[in-house]
Structure 1
Amino acid sequence: MKRSTSHRALLYGRSAALGCVVLLLLVAGVLSSWSSAQHIVLAKGREHGAMAVTGCGADVCTGPFTPAEHATARPRVTIERSVAVKKGDRFPVVVKPGTDEVVRTGVPGFLHSWVPLGGALLLAALIIGGGLRLTRTAWGTGIAGAVLLVATFIAL
């Protein structure tokens, strides 16, 4: 049975729409991750040091910043609260320019900053496999997202 032109146009339109949704998910994941990852990836010239967590609120944890090399000591800096930050912890950080906010550095900090991309990869894999019917690509995308999330869990 031959497919009509309108049926083919509908299939192409569906594929284009789903491709746009996948692209939107991945771009949103990268942009969300980049907001904190940029301070780790492009850390040259920023203030490096260590933070000792002395207290945690609902959204942020605070503590003193001990500088390394050319940074300035600060009595109170803040870091976004996560399951990996507890009172009494001490870890390496980099200060966001012009603020008293810090971002965790090293492998755990790097992986943690890319968690939104890992989630976006998992969601995109469902659309790639189910909607676009590209199963190998979907498996690769899903495995990449899962590996990123599991590596972050192990590192933290």
Structure 2
Amino acid sequence: MKPSSSQLALSVGRRVAMACVAALLLAAGFWTSWGTAQHVLLSKGREHGTLSVTECGDTACTGTYDPEGPVGPRAGAPIERSVAVKKGRDYEVVLKPGTGELVRAGSSGALLAWVPLGGALLLAAPVVGGGLRMTRTAWATALAGAALLAGAFFAL
């Protein structure tokens, strides 16, 4: 039996809506991750150094920042508080240009920066699988998100 034009329009509309939701989730995850990841991945020409965390507040941790080069250490440099930052430890960091804020550098910093994208991939997988009926793509999306989150977890 051939589907009617209203059934066809409903099917196409559902697919378009689900594709928009999946695209919105992935775009939001990428945009959120890129805010930090750009400083870690494109760090050439940026100020690098080591942060020794001395105290942590509700939203940020501070410590002594020792930049590479002739500039001496300075106290009170902030880094965003997360499970990846602990008092009494030293971290490789990159200074965000135009601010005094530091972000973790290296492979662990890169993985931590992409955590929001990993979560977005996991959230988009059921939308792709159920709404778009693309089960193989949904599994690949979910596995990519899980691998990214697991990598970040083990980088801690």
| Contact 1:108–1:152 (CA under 8 A) maintained in structure 2 | yes
- Does the residue aligned with 1:43 lie in a helix, a strand or coil? coil
- Does the residue aligned with 1:52 lie in a helix, a strand or coil? strand
Gaps of 5+ in 2: none
Gaps of 5+ in 1: none
- Cα distance in structure 2, aligned partners of 1:48 and 1:57: 24
| Contact 1:48–1:71 (CA under 8 A) maintained in structure 2 | no
Corresponding residue of 2:7? 7
The one-letter code of the counterpart of 1:23 is A
- Does the residue aligned with 1:108 lie in a helix, a strand or coil? helix
Give the drift of 1:89: 0.8
Give the total of aligned pairs.
156
Corresponding residue of 1:41? 41
Corresponding residue of 1:77? 77
Corresponding residue of 2:101? 101
- Cα distance in structure 1, aligned partners of 2:59 and 2:134: 40
- Cα distance in structure 1, aligned partners of 2:131 and 2:52: 47
Identity of aligned residues (%): 58
- Does the residue aligned with 2:44 lie in a helix, a strand or coil? coil
- Cα distance in structure 2, aligned partners of 1:131 and 1:137: 12
What TM-score, normalized to structure 2? 0.97
| Contact 1:118–1:146 (CA under 8 A) maintained in structure 2 | yes
- CA displacement 1:4-36 (0-9 Å, x = unmatched): 011001100100010000000000000000000
The one-letter code of the counterpart of 1:73 is P
- CA displacement 1:21-64 (0-9 Å, x = unmatched): 00000000000000000101111111100000000000100001
Q: Give 4+ residue runs of structure 1 displaced > 2 Å after superposition.
A: 69-74
Counterpart mapping for 1:3-152 below 5 A: 3-69=3-69, 73-152=73-152
What TM-score, normalized to structure 1? 0.97
Provide closer, same or farther for how the CA distance between residues 39 and 70 of structure 1 changes in structure 2, counting only shifts above 3 A: farther
Give the drift of 1:99: 1.5
- Note the aligned Cα RMSD (angstroms): 1.1
